[in-house]
Structure formats: C-alpha cells, structure tokens
C-alpha cells in the first residue's frame, strides 16, 4: 500500500526534458489547468549569481501555516545566495484578497524588478497580476495559482497527483467498503479545487465501494477543521475515512476524532507536514500525509525571477517533488525541502 503511494509520487517527480521559453519583455502564457508531468520540468538548478542585485517582491496568503514559513525561508535564503533583495508581504489569510491586491499594487508602485505571488484567489488576482505585467514587472506564480495567463511560469506541486495519491491510500485501506467525508480547504484556491476533484475522480474510478458522503470548504485553519469534523461526526455516525486538502484542517479534524474516541478507526489523509501533523501521524490518528516541498518552491521562484530578468530561458511550468509520510517511514524523511530550520523567523511586513 505505501509502495503504491511511493510509485505514484515517483511518477510525478521523475526528471523530464525541459520545455524552455525565451526571455523578453512579454512573459509567455501558462495554463492554470492541471498539466501533465510530461509537459513540465522537475529539476531547476541554481543560476550563476548575477552582477546586479535585483529587488523581488513576494506576496503570500499568510504565515500562520508552517507551509508558508518554509516557502518564505526558500525565498529569503535563495535570494541571499543570489545577491537579491526580498520584500516579503503576507495578507493575513485566504479571506483577505483585498489586502493581497493592495500589496501587489504597492510592489508595483515601489518598482521592484519582479514579483512572486502565491494567489489567494485564482480569479481575484487576475487584475493585480496583469497590472504588474503592464507596468513592465514580470510575475512568477508559485504554489497557489492565479487565473491570469500573463505569468512567466507556474511553480507548484502537481495537485492532481496529490489528490490521486490520497485517494489510492484511502481506497486501498477501505477496499471492502467505507464512507468518506472531505474537508477541501480554502474556497477559490487552485489546490482545494484540483486536489479535491482528483480525489473524487480517483475514488469513483478505482474504488466503487467507497462512498463520499459529503464535503465542505473552509478557511484552512485547525479551528475550521475541528468545527467541520465535529459536524460531520454528528451528521454521519458511520464515517470510515476523512480526506483533507491541507494538514491545517487535518489537525483540527484529528482533534475531533480523538475527542470522539475514534482515533485509529478512521482513515485520515492530508497534505503537508507541520509539527502537529507529524505528532498525529506518530499517534496513529492521521494515517498518511502527502508532503510538498515549500522550501524548494520558494527557491525555484527566486531562480525563475532572476533567470527571466537575466534574459535566460524559463520553463512555463515546473513541478516540485512529493513524498508521503506514514507512521512507518517518519524516521527516513529528509525534511530540508519541506520545513524552515528550527527557530527561523521570516522578516515580513
């Protein structure tokens, strides 16, 4: 079963031929739809340190989730390696689209050389992204997708693969049949839609005895996960599995499962690997979590910005790697691409 997950992950991260596109004044278009790994690159080496010190603005949804702390570390440490200056801005949560748009406008007004954005909303960030491009500032899209086709590149995990990996783990555990509920995550985000849809499709195609009883969107917080899981447990007493689009909701859902004295009897899957997620996996409450590489995402975002500014080829889509954490393999995971170093605090405003 765990081997099945590892094979699926390996298929998404195998190194493939680079599909480059030239630099210039107009960024190439990139689709926000799921892209096959055959059309993307999975390795992106660090360029030579440029002669100029570039100023790069970074806009992310928030820093409440360790995923974005790891990403922030990737941006800042990579910029130091390449002699760039980072202005890191966080909006305070997925519900604050207006703040992210305002911060993007501020970055344009300050004439940074490039902008990196993890979008709070796909459609909601189109105007801000395209205003930056119209002002001559290239935009790199990392992790959470904007619907604008004016970005230089999209650097992300393959969310379709993440959803299918969770479905395969869940389906193999519940092959004899079971009832599943879904905590998708933040509405309007590419990851909540793509992962959740892929999970549903894979379950329907491969595991017909597994039934999805219901699903809910929410802000990606433990408090929302706790609230929704408590509601699900009251509405559906016979829950056998819980899909979580992110580990932030999974942590709250796990607390609800423990309080209901159902720990170990419900298969729970998630994405990402904060400290509380690791604890719940060790305790057997969360069964598996698919690990993205947010530190790598940050590093590649800076590399792409500098390559583009230096008029070098930048691939239009890049997928970072995936791992799966279970109770059996926790001691073997290399987390250098997943978490910021212990005690590291991002400078942010």
**pLDDT value at position 349?**
65
pTM score of the predicted model? 0.85
**pLDDT value at position 41?**
79
- Phi and psi torsions of 20, nearest 5°: -80, 160
**pLDDT value at position 238?**
93
- Which residues on adjacent β-strands are paired with residue 237? none
Q: In which band, very low, low, confident or very high, does the pLDDT at 22 lie, cut at 50, 70 and 90?
A: very low
Homologous superfamily of domain range 39-157+293-320: Response regulator (3.40.50.2300)
Q: In which band, very low, low, confident or very high, does the pLDDT at 38 lie, cut at 50, 70 and 90?
A: low
CA nearest to 142, candidates 162, 115, 103, 113:
115
Residues 6+ apart with CB under 8 A from 85: 53, 54, 55, 56, 79
The CA-based dihedral angle spanning residues 102, 108, 114, 115, taken in that order and rounded to the nearest 10 degrees: 10
**pLDDT value at position 291?**
96
Contact (CB, 8 A) for 299 and 74: yes
CA distance 188 to 239: 27
- Which residues on adjacent β-strands are paired with residue 326? 288
39-157+293-320 and 159-291: same fold?
yes
- Phi and psi torsions of 137, nearest 5°: -105, 115
**pLDDT value at position 39?**
58
Q: In which band, very low, low, confident or very high, does the pLDDT at 8 lie, cut at 50, 70 and 90?
A: very low
Angle at CA of residue 156, ends 155 and 162, nearest 5°: 165
Contact (CB, 8 A) for 253 and 305: no
Q: Render pLDDT for 94-124 as a digit per residue (tens, 0 to 9).
A: 999 999 999 999 999 999 999 999 999 999 9
CA 239 distance to own-chain centroid:
27
Contact (CB, 8 A) for 324 and 6: yes
Q: Render pLDDT for 210-256 as a digit per residue (tens, 0 to 9).
A: 999 999 999 989 999 999 999 999 999 899 999 999 999 999 999 99
First-to-last CA distance in the chain?
44
**pLDDT value at position 5?**
36
Percent of the chain with pLDDT over 70: 88
**pLDDT value at position 347?**
87
Q: Is 269 helix (H, G, I), strand (E, B) or coil?
A: strand
Contact (CB, 8 A) for 88 and 114: no
User: What is the dotted CATH code of the domain comprising 159-291?
Assistant: 3.40.50.2300
Residue 161, CA atoms < 13 Å, CB-side half-sphere: 25
CA 254 distance to own-chain centroid:
20
CA distance 302 to 117: 11
Residues making up the chain, counted from first to last? 349
Beta-carbon neighbour count of residue 341 at 10 Å?
10
**Residue listed under structure tokens 């039934």:** 211
Q: Render pLDDT for 43-101 as a digit per residue (tens, 0 to 9).
A: 899 999 999 999 999 999 999 989 999 999 999 999 999 999 999 999 999 999 999 99
Domain locations in the chain as residue ranges: 39-157+293-320, 159-291
Percent of the chain with pLDDT over 90: 85
**pLDDT value at position 220?**
87
CA distance 23 to 309: 8
Tell me how far CA of residue 75 lies from CA of 114, 117, 175, in angstroms.
13, 11, 42
Model confidence at 23: pLDDT above 50: no
CA distance 220 to 208: 29
């Amino acid at each position: 079963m765990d081997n099945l997950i590892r094979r699926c992950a390996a298929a998404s991260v195998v190194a493939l031929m680079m599909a480059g596109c030239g630099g210039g004044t107009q960024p190439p278009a990139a689709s926000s739809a799921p892209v096959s790994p055959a059309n993307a690159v999975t390795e992106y080496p660090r360029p030579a340190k440029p002669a100029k010190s570039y100023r790069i603005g970074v806009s992310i949804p928030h820093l409440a989730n360790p995923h974005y702390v790891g990403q922030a570390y990737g941006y800042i440490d990579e910029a130091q390696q390449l002699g760039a200056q980072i202005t890191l801005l966080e909006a305070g949560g997925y519900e604050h689209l207006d703040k992210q748009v305002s911060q993007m406008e501020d970055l344009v007004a300050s004439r940074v050389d490039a902008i990196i954005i993890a979008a709070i909303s796909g459609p909601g960030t189109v105007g801000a992204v395209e205003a930056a491009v119209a002002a001559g500032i290239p935009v790199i899209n990392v992790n959470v997708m904007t619907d604008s086709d004016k970005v230089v590149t999209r650097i992300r995990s393959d969310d379709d693969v993440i959803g299918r990996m969770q479905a395969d783990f869940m389906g193999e555990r519940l092959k004899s049949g079971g009832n599943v509920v879904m905590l998708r995550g933040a509405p309007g985000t590419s990851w909540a839609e793509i992962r959740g849809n892929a999970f549903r499709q894979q379950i329907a195609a491969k595991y017909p005895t597994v039934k999805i009883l219901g699903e809910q969107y929410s802000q990606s917080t433990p408090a929302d996960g706790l609230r929704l899981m408590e509601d699900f447990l009251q509405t559906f007493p016979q829950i056998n599995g819980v899909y979580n689009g992110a580990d932030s909701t999974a942590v709250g859902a796990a607390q609800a499962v423990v309080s209901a004295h159902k720990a170990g009897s419900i298969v729970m899957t998630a994405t990402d690997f904060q400290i509380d997620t690791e604890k719940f996996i060790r305790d057997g409450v969360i069964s598996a979590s698919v690990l993205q590489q947010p530190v790598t995402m940050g590093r590649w975002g800076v590399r792409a910005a500098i390559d583009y500014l230096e008029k070098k080829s930048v691939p239009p889509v890049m997928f970072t790697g995936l791992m799966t954490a279970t109770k059996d393999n926790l001691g073997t995971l290399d987390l250098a691409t997943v978490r910021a170093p212990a005690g590291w605090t991002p400078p942010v405003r």
